[in-house]
Structure 1
Amino acid sequence: MKHLSILTLTVILSSVTMQSFAQQNDFIKDYLERLENSRNYLILVAENMPEEQYNFKASPESMSFAENLMHIAWAMDWHCQTLLGDRKARNWETDTELKVANKSKEEMLAAIDKTFDETIKFIKSFDTTKFNDRLNYLGLNRTKRQIFLLLADHIAHHRGQMLVYMRLNGIKPPRYVLYQ
């Protein structure tokens, strides 16, 4: 009877563990689909804004269209490589790879596309057993799973600003694509 109880308990725990692992892998799969859709839409938005309008700001204290685009790249790198991956953060003041600097529209599009590639590669290899690990996120105690969600929100937030900038310049943004 004792062996049957131990066997039953082992089967139940294994089942729960496998189900949890499958759910975490489903989250990554769903997240990657959303991130790819987000990439495609963001690049379409950036392609449709004329290069001469990339320096447009809605107000003096706002980021320009180009700065919003490159800020998305920098934040993807920071959220994944630094917060989730433990790499030392880039120095925003000195790093030029993910800043506007003197980049052309084409160079910025290449930089954002490359950053999406690196982010997707990182996420594909992310150890989902670390989802519940906690870290300091700008003074808030967050799980690594929450960092994934914060990153998606951040991309949408700045892309939304870019869409408004297009409207303020009389440019009709590309039609919104669901699930991003």
Structure 2
Amino acid sequence: MKQLLILATTILFAPIYSPLFAQQDIFIEDYLERLENSRDYLILVAEMMPEDKYNFKATPESLSFAENLLHIGFAVDWHSLSLLGGRESRDWKTDTVYKVAEKSKKQMIATINQTFEEAIKLIKEFDTSQLNNKLDYFGLKRSKRQIFLLLTDHITHHRGQMLVYLRLNGLVPPRYVLYQ
């Protein structure tokens, strides 16, 4: 009798819970596709700029092309591995991984690629039951789902600056890749 009650309850509530879990799984699948496309497009942009122009700035107070690139890496690392994954945050002031310093173009692109790979690995294993968990984001309460979205906005923002830098240096950016 108890087993029959459990079975009946499961059948009754399955239609309610199943779409909720499916939506969360679809969110992660869609997000991963977008993040991978975003990485590929960012690397195309980074490869297009000649290395001798990596220090180019549109204005003195702007980030250079290289600084924008590595800032994206820092943001991917912080949003994914720290905020979503729980690893202690890097300190922007003392971190050397995402500072331009004497890094070559090839080293910077490798750093970006590695950072995206680590983020993608974490996201593939992300526990979707945490998507609605809130955390502090610069004094605002944001869900982990919102953190995913904030990261993509941040990547797009800085990559957009890099696209303008290509144009200001007489280069035609690579064709925009849809869905990223």
Per the shorter chain, which TM-score range?
Answer: over 0.9
| SS of equivalent to 1:150 | helix
Q: Which letter does structure 1 place at the counterpart of 2:134?
A: R
| SS of equivalent to 2:163 | helix
Q: Could you say which residue in structure 2 is the equivalent of 1:174? A: 174
Q: How does 1:54-93 map to 2 (within 5 A)?
A: 54-93=54-93
Structure 2's unaligned 5+ residue stretches are: none
Structure 1 residue 12: deviation in Å? 3.2
Partner deviation per Cα, 1:39-64 (whole Å, 9 max, x = no partner)? 11000000000011100111111100
Structure 1 residue 23: deviation in Å? 1.1
Name the CA distance, whole Å, in 2 between partners of 1:15 and 1:98.
47
User: Under a length normalisation based on structure 2, what TM-score does the superposition of the two structures give?
Assistant: 0.94
Name the CA distance, whole Å, in 1 between partners of 2:137 and 2:12.
36
Name the CA distance, whole Å, in 2 between partners of 1:34 and 1:12.
35
Q: How does 1:1-180 map to 2 (within 5 A)?
A: 9-180=9-180
**Runs of 4+ residues over 6 Å off in structure 1:** 3-6
Name the CA distance, whole Å, in 2 between partners of 1:20 and 1:102.
48
Structure 1's unaligned 5+ residue stretches are: none
| SS of equivalent to 1:141 | strand
Structure 1 residue 6: deviation in Å? 7.7
CA distance 1:6–1:119, change in 2 (3 Å): closer
Partner deviation per Cα, 1:17-39 (whole Å, 9 max, x = no partner)? 22211111111111111111101
RMSD: 1.6
User: Under a length normalisation based on structure 1, what TM-score does the superposition of the two structures give?
Assistant: 0.94
Structure 1 residue 81: deviation in Å? 1.1
| SS of equivalent to 2:109 | helix
Name the CA distance, whole Å, in 2 between partners of 1:24 and 1:16.
14
Name the CA distance, whole Å, in 2 between partners of 1:120 and 1:27.
14
Name the CA distance, whole Å, in 2 between partners of 1:12 and 1:73.
46
Name the CA distance, whole Å, in 2 between partners of 1:6 and 1:82.
40
Name the CA distance, whole Å, in 1 between partners of 2:52 and 2:12.
62
Which one is further off, 51-60 or 7-16?
7-16
Instruction: Name the count of aligned residue pairs.
Output: 178
The alignment-based identity, stated in percent, is: 65
| SS of equivalent to 2:94 | coil
Name the CA distance, whole Å, in 1 between partners of 2:96 and 2:179.
32
| SS of equivalent to 2:158 | helix
